[in-house]
DNA sequence: TAGTTATTGCAAATCGTTTGCAGTAACAGG
DNA sequence: CCTGTTACTGCAAACGATTTGCAATAACTA
């Protein structure tokens, strides 16, 4: 399993880009920050290692990774209006967002694809991408609420 | 079929609110503006009837309608970061957004609900709401692109 | 080791939306 | 109708998330 840092390095090499210390720190943060962080969350993590790094550098790096197809930006409702960044997995997947703690759970379901094709047939529209997001309470927040 | 204007009127009456000329114009705009307008689109429409109406009044009215459960706000990816407003239909439904002309097509599919319950069982999370959005090209934009 | 230029930090701009405030106009009651 | 109370308005300024212009810096190349 190749890390984001490795993928980005290869990408940079092939286009005359430069691997800066800031980029390395951001990429390493993304690699160990498991889930679906906001830019602020990445920024907070990265600042622990380099106090002088700037939020706009974080954004520029994230947007570059997005352009290169190495991560994708997602915007969930019921989660303010900030973007969350998702390491691009090899397979399509969908999300559950806990409205309380903002935890994201990924899942997949075979029926989703067939819903798309049945919609395509009925509407004659061409589907290019799918966003399926469930909102609710994760197991933890449910039990926390009962108390 | 009761119009939004009628529903809002009833709601206002029951809570000491006032039916102003601005609200009437906005509600009438929403009633004939068929689909899923942004606040700006509503604003542009109402300005034709009342030059002096203010964008913040449009927002305040839309948010009030949202709170009253008469419309809902939706945020689609690939559509900038503005909200779109959806007259609350009696039944749950889902959306297709044309990435080119921003037309919205509504649809439903019986399998969607069973996907939710199967996710609930596997994850032990409690699903409260669902957002299912397809992105792609509507029939019109497809043929326009072929030429 | 020096030169080219991609990348940075910073501050200011942007975009969609919200808010504080003083003035205006609904509408209830006389 | 007239009047008083106060919900609602327009305006301007604040907002949060993100983007951008620019001059200084630091990767890489040769
Ligand atoms: Mn994901
Ligand atoms: Mn709709
Ligand atoms: Zn939770
Ligand atoms: Zn279209």
- The Å distance, CA of B59 to C1' of C18, is 9
Q: Which pLDDT score is estimated for A118?
A: 97
Averaged confidence pLDDT in chain A: 94
Mutate to test the interface with A, among B107, B125, B130 (most CBs of A within 10 A): B125
Q: Is A2 left (phi over 0), alpha (psi -120 to 50) or beta?
A: beta
In chain A, residues under CATH classification 1.10.10.10 are 1-88
Mean pLDDT over A13-25 rounds to 97
Q: What's the pTM?
A: 0.92
User: pLDDT per residue over A69-119, tens digit each?
Assistant: 999 999 998 888 999 999 877 788 999 999 999 999 999 999 999 999 999
Report the alpha-carbon angle B21-B25-B27, nearest 5.
115
Centre of ligand 3 to C-alpha B80, Å, is: 28
DSSP characters over chain B: ---HHHHHHHHHHTTT----HHHHHHHHHHHHS-S--BHHHHHHHHHTT-TT--HHHHHHHHHHHHHTTSEEEE--TTBTB--EEEE--SS--EEEEETTT--EEEE--THHHHHHHHHHHHH--EEEEEEEEEEEE-HHHHHHHH-
User: pLDDT per residue over A107-121, tens digit each?
Assistant: 999 999 999 999 999
Residue in B closest to A105 by C-alpha: B123
Instruction: Answer yes or no: are the C-beta atoms of B147 and B109 closer than 8 Å.
Output: no
Stronger pLDDT, A145 or A76, i.e. the higher one: A76
Mean pLDDT over B103-109 rounds to 94
Q: What architecture is the A1-88 domain classified under in CATH?
A: Orthogonal Bundle (1.10)
Residue nearest to nucleotide D26 (CA to C1'): A20
Mean pLDDT over B62-85 rounds to 94
Instruction: Answer yes or no: are the C-beta atoms of B74 and A77 closer than 8 Å.
Output: yes
- The Å distance, CA of B57 to C1' of C20, is 14
Mutate to test the interface with B, among A136, A140, A144, A145 (most CBs of B within 10 A): A136
CATH topology of domain B90-147: Dna Ligase; domain 1 (3.30.1490)
In chain A, residues under CATH classification 3.30.1490.190 are 90-147
User: pLDDT per residue over B120-146, tens digit each?
Assistant: 999 999 999 999 999 999 999 999 988
- Please tell me the number of the ligand nearest to residue A98's CA: 3
Residues of A in contact with B81 (CB under 8 A): 75, 81
């Amino acid at each position: 399993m190749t890390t984001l840092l490795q993928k980005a390095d290869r990408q940079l090499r092939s286009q005359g880009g430069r691997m800066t210390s800031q980029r390395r720190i951001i990429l390493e943060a993304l690699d160990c920050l498991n889930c679906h962080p906001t830019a602020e969350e990445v920024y907070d993590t990265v600042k622990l290692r380099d106090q002088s790094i700037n939020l706009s550098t974080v954004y520029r790096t994230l947007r570059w990774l997005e352009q290169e197809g190495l991560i994708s930006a997602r915007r969930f409702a019921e989660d303010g209006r900030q973007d969350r960044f998702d390491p691009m997995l090899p397979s399509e997947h969908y999300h559950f967002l806990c409205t309380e703690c903002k935890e994201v759970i990924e899942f997949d379901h075979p029926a989703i694809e067939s819903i798309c094709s049945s919609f395509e047939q009925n509407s004659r529209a061409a589907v290019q991408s799918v966003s399926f997001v469930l909102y609710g309470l994760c197991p933890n927040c449910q039990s926390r609420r009962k108390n």
